[in-house]
Amino acid sequence: MAVAAAVHPAPHEEHPTSTGLSSRKMLFWAFLGSECMFFGSLIATYLVYRGRDTVGPHPHEVLNIPFTSFSAFVLLMSSLTMVLALAACQHGDRRGTAGWLAATALLGMTFVGGQCYEFTHFFYDGLKLQGNLFGCTFYVLTGFHGTHVTIGVIWLWTLFTLAIRGKLPQEKSLDVEIAGLYWHFVDVVWIAIFTLIYLIQ
Amino acid sequence: MTDHQHSTDRHPAEHAHPKGKEYLAIAVVLTVITAVEVAVFYIPAMHPVLVPVLLTLSTLKFALVAMFYMHLKFDHRLFSWLFVLPISLAVLVIIALMKLFGVF
């Protein structure tokens, strides 16, 4: 008892940790920290080369602010549905967990679909990966973000499948919480990209 | 399953997460801020202060999502440090590279 009181085991941990915090959650926050550096380097590259193109198309000629604003709204709302999925799982609401996870995945797919439409449109407007500095830095930055969203969508559908099979009980809410951390992270990265690339041209 | 393995058990330094209504309120605030950002972009009179206003608003959105949806406001402070320190380093790298390449 004395040992158990001194080292409080984190939820869902097979063994107690020296901090009393979940090792998985700690590891995932460290991973998100490394992701900050990754996206930071891509954003820095975009900002350093912005406005140095000798040939077009330039950002103001192709970027569609109303369309991207809607995409940003969709991703923000997916963060709401994600956190509601976690709350449902923590309360043992199996149907709620599955429903909110599906809603989050569908909103994520809407965002990725919008990005595919946007990229196709830009391509036909002459913006190519190897065409100019803007095209190269823009596609690499937003493409990596879109890839992260796609991975998140696959992760969410996997959790949805587990939830409808009854394999995502209240005791496994940490699984949903960690997926949620990843999902909110791609949302905050888009908050930065939307402002720095789309609105500040 | 023992009591301390139950999902509702939290570390002493952690607090209970918000309820659904609070999450909804945050979503409304985030939507309003996004609408203001887009409005600021289209108002010519705002263009002299466009950059500081947009950076402030997006930082506010970022903080709201991190604090309430990622639960950094309620979880152990160590998680906040694991996130804030790399972000600060990334921002410093961005500023240093922009300065180095003569952006400002």
Examine the domain organization and report whether B45 and B29 are in the same domain.
yes
Across A54-63, B8-17, B75-84, which has the greatest mean pLDDT? B75-84
Mean pLDDT of chain A: 92
Look at residue B9 and tell me if it is in a domain: no
Query: Distance (Å, rounded) from C-alpha B25 to C-alpha B29?
Result: 6
Say whether residue B12 is in contact with chain A using an 8 A CB cutoff: yes
Examine the domain organization and report whether B44 and B67 are in the same domain.
yes
Domain with B65 in it: 17-73
Examine the domain organization and report whether B69 and B79 are in the same domain.
no
User: Looking at CA atoms only, how far is residue B36 from chain A in angstroms?
Assistant: 11
Report pLDDT for A83. Answer: 97
- CB within 8 Å: B34 and A187: no
For an interface test with A, the pick among B1, B30, B69 (most A C-beta atoms closer than 10 Å) comes out as: B69
pLDDT tens readout for residues A42-88:
999 999 999 898 888 999 999 999 999 999 999 999 999 999 999 99
Look at residue B1 and tell me if it is in a domain: no
Query: Distance (Å, rounded) from C-alpha A20 to C-alpha B10?
Result: 10
- CB within 8 Å: B30 and A194: no
Say whether residue B87 is in contact with chain A using an 8 A CB cutoff: yes
- Looking only at Cα atoms, what is the longest distance across chain B? 62
From A47, A180, A191, residue closest to B98, measured CB to CB: A47
From A12, A19, A36, residue closest to B5, measured CB to CB: A12
CB B91 within 8 A of CB B83: no
Q: Which amino acid is at B1?
A: M
Look at residue B3 and tell me if it is in a domain: no
Say which residues have a Cβ less than 8 Å from residue B74's Cβ, sequence separation at least 6.
B14, B15, B16, B17, B18
Examine the domain organization and report whether B49 and B27 are in the same domain.
yes
- Band of the pLDDT at B14, cuts 50, 70, 90? low
By three-state DSSP, how is residue A54 classified? coil
Examine the domain organization and report whether B23 and B39 are in the same domain.
yes
Examine the domain organization and report whether B66 and B21 are in the same domain.
yes
In the CATH scheme, what is the homologous superfamily, with its name and number, of domain A23-199? Cytochrome c oxidase, subunit III, four-helix bundle (1.20.120.80)
Examine the domain organization and report whether B68 and B82 are in the same domain.
no
Residues of chain B in contact with residue A48, where contact means CB-CB under 8 angstroms, are 97-98, 101, 103
CB A131 within 8 A of CB A172: no
Examine the domain organization and report whether B63 and B94 are in the same domain.
no
Compute the count of residue pairs across chains A and B with CB atoms less than 8 Å apart. Answer: 159
Look at residue B46 and tell me if it is in a domain: yes
CB A44 within 8 A of CB B98: yes
Examine the domain organization and report whether B50 and B37 are in the same domain.
yes
Look at residue B51 and tell me if it is in a domain: yes
From B7, B34, B37, residue closest to A90, measured CB to CB: B7
Look at residue B8 and tell me if it is in a domain: no
Residue A101, pLDDT > 80, answer yes
Examine the domain organization and report whether B22 and B65 are in the same domain.
yes
The answer to whether ipTM exceeds 0.95 is no
CB interface of B with A, residues 37-56, below 8 Å: 37-38, 40-42, 50-51, 54-55
What is the phi-psi region of residue B18: left when phi exceeds 0, alpha when psi lies from -120 to 50, beta otherwise?
Answer: beta
User: Looking at CA atoms only, how far is residue A21 from chain B in angstroms?
Assistant: 7
Report pLDDT for B22. Answer: 93
**pTM beyond 0.80:** yes
Query: Distance (Å, rounded) from C-alpha B91 to C-alpha B97?
Result: 10
Query: Distance (Å, rounded) from C-alpha A100 to C-alpha A83?
Result: 9
Say whether residue B98 is in contact with chain A using an 8 A CB cutoff: yes
Examine the domain organization and report whether B56 and B80 are in the same domain.
no
Give me the residue spans of the domains in chain A. Answer: 23-199
- Which of the two residues, A21 and B3, has the higher pLDDT score? A21
- The whole-number average pLDDT for the span B38-44 is 95
Full 3-state SS string of A94-160? HHHHHHHHHHHHHHHHHHHHHHHHHHHHHHHCCCCCCCCHHHHHHHHHHHHHHHHHHHHHHHHHHHH
- Band of the pLDDT at A6, cuts 50, 70, 90? very low
Which of these, A36, A32, A53, A43, lies nearest to A198 by C-alpha position? A43
Identify the residue whose tokens are 């998680």: B79
Look at residue B57 and tell me if it is in a domain: yes
For an interface test with B, the pick among A94, A107, A191 (most B C-beta atoms closer than 10 Å) comes out as: A191
| Domain total in chain B | 2
Look at residue B6 and tell me if it is in a domain: no
Examine the domain organization and report whether B68 and B99 are in the same domain.
no
